[in-house]
Structures are given as C-alpha cells and as structure tokens.
Amino acid sequence: MGLDLGGQTIKAVLVSPSGALLDQASLPSGGDTDLRRLVDMVATLVGGLESSAGETPGSSAALGLGVPGVLDSAGRLLGSPNLPALQGVVLAERLAAALARPVLVENDANCAALAEGLGGAADGELDYLLVTLGTGLGSGLVLGGKLYRGPSGRGCELGHAVIVQGGRRCGCSARGCLEAYVSETATVAMVDELDAAQRSRLLARAGQEDRGLAHSLFENAGGDEVAARLVGQMIAALGAGLASAVNSMDLPLIILGGGLAPVFMARVDDIRREIAAGLFARGIDELRTVAAVHGRLAGAMGAARLAGLAGVGVG
Ligand SMILES: [Zn+2]
C-alpha cells in the first residue's frame, strides 16, 4: 500500500505485487498538516482500503508514504515549505510507532520515479531521470535500477541545479536554480517582472480561463507575443537543465511528469532542440524524452512499490 501527501489531498493506493492498481482513496489534506493529523489521515485511508479489500484492518505489511520535501537517510523531514509543522520530524519512525507497522517515507518525486519503473514510462529501464513539472520542479533519478538518494538521502534535486549564475532568487534562497526558471512559481515570477499592462493582460486571461498561469501561457503562446517569449524562455531553461543532467550522468531516458507535463510535452520537439544544443557526448538520437504515465497517482504508486520492495532491500 502506498500514500502520497500533497498540498491539497493525501492519496492512497492498493497495488498488486506486479504493480497493478487495485483500489484508491483520497482525503483533503488541508494546509499545515501536523503529525497527529497525518497519523489520523493515514489510518483512515489505510483502514478504508483494507476493509474494502476484505483484509483485517492492520494486517497489511509495510506502508510507503511520499512527501513533498527533502528527507535525510533516517527519514527526518529536513525541508518542506508546505509542511512546516512536520519539519525535523523523523516521519518513518513516528508513523510506524503510531500505526504499529513498518512505514517507509520518501520524497514524492523519488516515489514517482520508482512508479514509472514498474508498468510506467520506464518499465524495465535501469537508468532514467524523472522530472516533475508543477508548482516546483522535482526530480527522481534511477541509476542501475536503483533509486539514487545520495549518501545522506538528499538526492537528486535537479530543480536546484544552478543554470543562471546570480540569476532569479529561488524558493530555496539560492539564485539561478532551474526551478526558478521552469515551474508554476517561476511563471508567476516571470509575469511579475513584466510591465504593468502586459502583466495584467496575462493575469486576466489566466483568471478567465480558470487555470494556472503556466498552462495559460502555453495555451496562448500561438497568438500572444509576450506569452510566446516567456514559454520560449522556459523551454530553453528546461533544455539547458536536462542537457546538463544528460552530460553529467549519461542518461538515455528522461520522463516528464507533474501537472505541467502535458503542456511541456506538446512542445517536446522544441525542448529536444534546446537539449541537443547543450549535449556533449551523447547524441540527441540516443536520448528518449517521454511523458510519465502514472499521472496524479504516481507518488502513491511509487510509495507502494517502495513498501513492497522494502522486505528484499531493493529500490
Ligand atoms: Zn533552489
């Protein structure tokens, strides 16, 4: 069983050993989730899925949980702008104690990367990078068939690779991070930097369309010069970041996921042109760029995979 704690909802999935989705459930997660509320939500979702599957509540093995934040190798949440009340909490240990079962906690993008490796866009692949495009820019790296976490558990964070020296301020407080140029947050900042007339025109249109600003810019890039320029800048920045990742790690496969993946994938030829301009040893023909397939359940599916793999020490 796997769960994914997001900003708006917490999702849970029951998955077969081969990775097939058997059942799912979700609850609104609200804003500032503390440990007591997290335990309650997880217990409710897990109990519900177990009883609908005809299992005795509490009988399942390990649980996996994806969270939007950086964790150390002990499972302590080090940094998560959306979860201040859980900062510094050793989530795996505290949840395991409260729920009386093993719990594995992992960064949500890492979970999504694991999910794509089983019945997803990277099924059977040993080396790939998943980039999630949404409010921020997350990434999960699988090398040699294993999730790469780094020696302290904090990798991989391609969103905070610096692509513009001294550039735009990132949410992490550094300057010039890829996330500050490619994400919904980056789009808001870019529009904010425009002159007042252009800014209010783009904001008004996004408001009328009732969708995020990045979505709106991509959809209107065909007929709006300013939208086209900003989208072009985002595509160029993403291409530069991905080319750097490929040059550093000799990656044959990049998967784009997250809520903004569809609009970026619609421009995949332009993204590949930008990647190609920055490639060193590997040619663009030796690099595949594909869309993630697990969609909004990717984090929970990957967390379930993590829980299923825990007993045999893989993942
Ligand atoms: Zn950053």
Q: What is the pLDDT of residues 62-104, one digit of tens each?
A: 899 999 888 988 889 987 777 888 999 999 999 999 999 999 9
Distance, CA 26 to ligand 1 centroid (Å)? 30
Q: What is the pLDDT of residue 209?
A: 87
Distance, CA 175 to ligand 1 centroid (Å)? 7
What letter would DSSP give residue 76? B
Q: Which two tokens stand for residue 157?
A: 């964070």
Distance, CA 243 to ligand 1 centroid (Å)? 18
CB 270 within 8 A of CB 99: no
* CATH class of the 2-114+296-310 domain in this structure: alpha beta
Distance, CA 117 to ligand 1 centroid (Å)? 27
Distance, CA 196 to ligand 1 centroid (Å)? 27
CB 305 within 8 A of CB 19: yes
pTM of the full structure? 0.89
The CATH number assigned to the domain with range 125-292 reads: 3.30.420.40
Q: What is the pLDDT of residue 213?
A: 96
Residue with the larger pLDDT of the pair 124 and 226: 226
pLDDT above 90 coverage of the chain, percent:
73
Mean pLDDT of 217-225: 96
Distance, CA 136 to ligand 1 centroid (Å)? 10
Distance, CA 239 to ligand 1 centroid (Å)? 17
Distance, CA 183 to ligand 1 centroid (Å)? 12
Q: How far is CA 223 from CA 8, 15, 113, 220, in A?
A: 33, 44, 35, 6
3-state class of 48 per DSSP?
helix
Q: What is the pLDDT of residue 56?
A: 67
For residue 273, name the pLDDT band (cuts at 50, 70, 90).
Answer: very high
Is beta strand 103-107 parallel, antiparallel or unpaired with respect to 63-67?
A: parallel
Task: Mention every residue, 6+ apart, whose C-beta is less than 8 A from residue 221.
Answer: 227, 228, 231, 232
Same fold, 2-114+296-310 and 125-292: yes
Distance, CA 173 to ligand 1 centroid (Å)? 6
Distance, CA 170 to ligand 1 centroid (Å)? 5
Burial class (CB in 10 A: 0-12, 13-18, 19+), 197: exposed
3-state class of 154 per DSSP?
coil
Distance, CA 253 to ligand 1 centroid (Å)? 24
Structure confidence by residue, pLDDT tens digits, 30-42 = 767 899 999 999 9
Q: Which strands form 253-257's sheet, in the order they lie side by side?
A: 146-147, 137-143, 128-133, 253-257, 288-291
Distance, CA 127 to ligand 1 centroid (Å)? 25
Distance, CA 208 to ligand 1 centroid (Å)? 31
Burial class (CB in 10 A: 0-12, 13-18, 19+), 313: exposed
Distance, CA 41 to ligand 1 centroid (Å)? 30
**Domain segments of the chain: what residues?**
2-114+296-310, 125-292
Distance, CA 171 to ligand 1 centroid (Å)? 6
CB 65 within 8 A of CB 42: yes
For residue 232, name the pLDDT band (cuts at 50, 70, 90).
Answer: very high
